Structures are given as C-alpha cells and as structure tokens.
Amino acid sequence: MSKNKPVNNPSIADALVSSGIDQILRPSNWDEYIGQENIKKNIKVIIEAAIKRSEPIDHVLFYGQAGLGKTTLAYLIANELKAQIKTTSGPALEKVGDIAAILSNLEPYDVLFIDEVHRINHLIEEAFYPALESRKLHIMVGKGPSARSVTLDLPPFTLIAATTRVNLLSGPMRSRFGATFKLDYYNTHDITKIIKRSAKVLNVAIDEPAIKILAAASRRTPRVANRLLKRIRDYAEVKGTGEVNASTCSAALQFLGVDFLGLEDADRRFLETIIHKFNGGPVGVNALAAALNEDKGTIEDVYEPYLMGLGFLERTPAGRIATAAAYEHFGVKTAGKLV
Ligand code: ADE
C-alpha cells in the first residue's frame, strides 16, 4: 500500500538518530548489565511472557537521570526479543510526517526507541495515540479541498521511550505505556563493578585504591564513571606509565577539575552562588537561573538531583537552600559575600 505512505517526507534517516552511547562499553546481555536489579527482574518476566504468547511486549517507559542506562536497557530488550531497534528522539521529530514515516516503515515486532520523549510536540503525540493503542495510523493525503484522511494498519511493534523529565509527559501519553520504570542512581558496589568491567574492556590497568577513588567521583552514574575512566586513562598514558594507581587517579581528577565527590566547576559555581550571592538561600530557581546564566531545566535536571543526593541542597517551597554539609565541603563558615 505504498501509495498510502505520506508524501514529501524527509528521509527517515533524518529522524532516526544514533544513540550516541559508547558501543564498546554498552552491555550486550543481562549478565553484563550491572545494577537496577528490580527493573531487570520485571523486564525478564515481561519478555518471557510475551515470547510465550508470540506477542510484542507492551510499550515501556523508562525515566530517570541522564546516564543511568535507559538507552542500554532498550537495546538489551530488543536484543533479547531478537528484534530490530529503530532509534529516534523527541526533538528529532518535527512534523507529524516524520513519525508517520517511521511508523509506516516498521517491520513486525520491531522496537521503536524514542529518547527524550517529553520533547515530542503535541501534534505528533496525538498522531501517536491510535498507533500505540490500536496500531492505526491516520494520515492526511493531498492538499486543500481534496485532502482526505487515510488509515494505515501498522504491524505489531513495541515503543520504548525514555525521559529525564517524566512530569513533562502528558497524562494521556503516560497512560499508553504498559510498564513504567524509574532508574535510580547506582550504589557504590555496582559503580565499582561497572568500572572494573569497563577497565577490562578498555584494557586499562587500574588498581583497587584507584577504582575506589574513581567510584566516589562518578556521581553514582555509569556514563560518568566510563567517561572519567577514559580521561584518566589518557592522563595516565601521557603523564605516566599508563597504569592507574591512587595517586595518578587523584592527579587526573584534579587535572579534570573533578573533586573527590565528583563535583565539577559548574556544581561549585551553583552552590557558591547560593551561598555567597543569596546568603545560602532560600532562593527561587528562576533567580538562580538568571544569576548563573543557565537554563532552568538544566539546573533542575542536571545539577540539583546529585547535589540533593549528597545532602548539599534542599528544595523547599520558599526556594533552594545550601545545607550545612555544603558549607563544610566548601570550607565556608557563614553565608554572604566572602571578605
Ligand atoms: N555501562 C553503562 N551502564 C552499565 C551497566 N548498568 N552495567 C554495566 N555496564 C554499564
């Protein structure tokens, strides 16, 4: 029924994006995927049941901070289902025609992965609803008075969507997912295991004390751990023998501007702005965003979750407050401008 396919679509390749994740380090089976045990357990049951019934699995939504493994889980699911995965992202879908092109080219049992799904515009979202619910795609063919709506039947498929901001997803969209999982920060034990696995894959000689230091600086996030490991490897190769021990690791982190808790310049600037410019808070997020010349969403999604996890920041109805632990970390005794 190719005549029913939407015309004037950009190439599907434009809207299908590469995942941007390090392919070498990405776990390719469940045994290699460390942590998030509860999610893994649930997904294994969903997959096994769907395979038994020869059905696609329900649409799945993953949410949580960046770098915790949402995309990796989508790829693992597709792998386990022996299904093709097609990847796109909310901002890459500009027109209803973009999603129509992707959906109408799906093969039976394909997995469609949409990253940053909260950034899909509402027209596209509405085109999605019948596709998710009853595998129908309604598209307009022709222009002006001769325009008419054509309904395409879609093959069975599974949408796996990921977002860092689940609260920005509309209620109707959220309700289309048969399973929703929140990814949490990793504990030190699991981050340590991930570092050891990555060091093996990358052939980095790193000793236990150095792994401990790196784990503490990894913000409980695999993507950060892997990124730092690679930069530390570079540093060790250029400034030393290539082997990473505690002193090389600490020197490399210092060189990278990362402290022993994983705080970077931007985090320091964020907390010091609250402490020195706003007397420790409370300060509203909009005022902070203006003072830092930073996007409000970035503050809420990137800086704050980890700082709150460390106990350095509190979000109160009156605004953000730097805690006593933050003062101590920065060696500041009282709020206000330093003299
Ligand atoms: N690399 C990134 N995330 C990972 C995880 N959860 N387990 C193992 N390696 C990873």
Gap from CA of 18 to ligand 1 centroid (Å): 18
Mean predicted confidence (pLDDT) in 66-90: 95
Residue 1 in this model has a pLDDT that exceeds 50 = no
Instruction: Identify the pLDDT of residue 15.
Output: 52
Report the relative pairing of strands 136-141 and 111-115 from DSSP bridges: unpaired
At 297 the pLDDT is 87
Ramachandran area for residue 318 (φ above 0: left; ψ -120 to 50: alpha; else beta): alpha
Kindly report, residue by residue over 154-163, the tens digit of the pLDDT.
999 999 999 9
What pLDDT score does 283 carry? 97
**Binding site membership of 69 for ligand 1 (Cβ less than 6 Å):** yes
pLDDT tier at 16 (50, 70, 90 boundaries)? low
Quick one: pLDDT at residue 11? 46
> 281: phi > 0 → left, psi -120 to 50 → alpha, else beta; which?
left
Whose CA is closest to 281, among 321, 334, 326, 317? 321
Instruction: For residue 113, give both structure tokens.
Output: 């992965």
* Per-residue confidence (pLDDT) for residue 335, from 0 to 100: 56
Q: Per-residue pLDDT averaged across 172-195, rounded? A: 97
Asked if pLDDT for residue 226 goes beyond 90, the answer is yes
- In the predicted model, is pLDDT for residue 209 greater than 80? yes
Per-residue pLDDT, averaged over 91-117, amounts to 94
118 lines ligand 1 (CB under 6 A): no
State the pTM of this model: 0.88
List pLDDT tens digits, range 239-255: 999 999 999 999 999 99
Query: Could you identify the atom of ligand 1 that is nearest to the CA of residue 186?
Result: 6
Cβ proximity of 56 and 156 under 8 Å:
yes
Whether the Cβ atoms of residue 72 and residue 21 lie closer than 8 Å to each other: yes
User: d(Cα 216, Cα 229) in Å, to the nearest integer?
Assistant: 12
CB 56 less than 6 A from any atom of ligand 1:
no
Question: Which among 114, 150, 107 is positioned nearest to 130, based on CA atoms?
Answer: 150
Per-residue pLDDT at 7 exceeds 60:
no
Average pLDDT, rounded, for the chain: 91
Q: Is 40 in the pocket of ligand 1 (CB under 6 A)?
A: no
Tell which residue, 122, 84, 86, 83, has the closest CA to residue 103: 86
Q: Is the pLDDT of residue 10 over 70?
A: no
Q: How confident is the model at residue 2 (pLDDT cuts 50, 70, 90)?
A: very low
CA distance 323 to 310: 10
| 158, containing H or E segment | strand 158-163
Mutate to test the pocket of ligand 1, among 186, 194, 200, 214 (most ligand atoms within 8 A of CB): 194
For residue 245, give the amino acid letter.
N
Per-residue confidence at 143, pLDDT binned at 50, 70, 90? confident
Using the mean position of ligand 1's atoms as its centre, give its distance from the Cα of residue 35 in Å: 8
Residue bearing the bigger pLDDT, 234 or 331: 234
CA of 20 to the centre of ligand 1 (A): 15
Structure tokens at 4: 């029913």
Q: Taking residues 20-45, report their average pLDDT.
A: 89
pLDDT of residue 229: 97
Please state, in angstroms and rounded to a whole number, the distance separating the CA atoms of residues 212 and 253.
Answer: 13
Q: In 203-264, which ranges are continuous DSSP H helix?
A: 208-216, 222-239, 246-256
Q: Does the Cβ of 64 fall within 6 Å of ligand 1?
A: no
Q: Is 35 in the pocket of ligand 1 (CB under 6 A)?
A: yes
Q: Is the pLDDT of residue 49 over 90?
A: yes
Per-residue confidence (pLDDT) for residue 23, from 0 to 100: 80
Cβ(261)–Cβ(329) under 8 Å?
yes
Listed in sequence order, the residues at least 6 apart from 134 whose beta carbon sits closer than 8 Å to its beta carbon are none
Q: What is the pLDDT of residues 293-336, one digit of tens each?
A: 999 988 998 899 999 999 999 999 999 999 999 999 988 876 55
What domains lie within the chain, and their CATH numbers? 36-182 (3.40.50.300), 188-256 (1.10.8.60), 265-338 (1.10.10.10)
Q: What is the pLDDT of residue 301?
A: 86
What's the average model confidence in pLDDT over 17-24?
57
Return the number of other C-beta atoms located less than 10 Å from residue 45's C-beta: 9
Q: How far apart are CA 327 and CA 256, in angstroms?
A: 23
Ligand 1 centre to CA of 174 (Å) is 26
Query: Does the pLDDT of residue 17 top 80, yes or no?
Result: no
For residues 318 and 140, which has the higher predicted lDDT (pLDDT)?
318
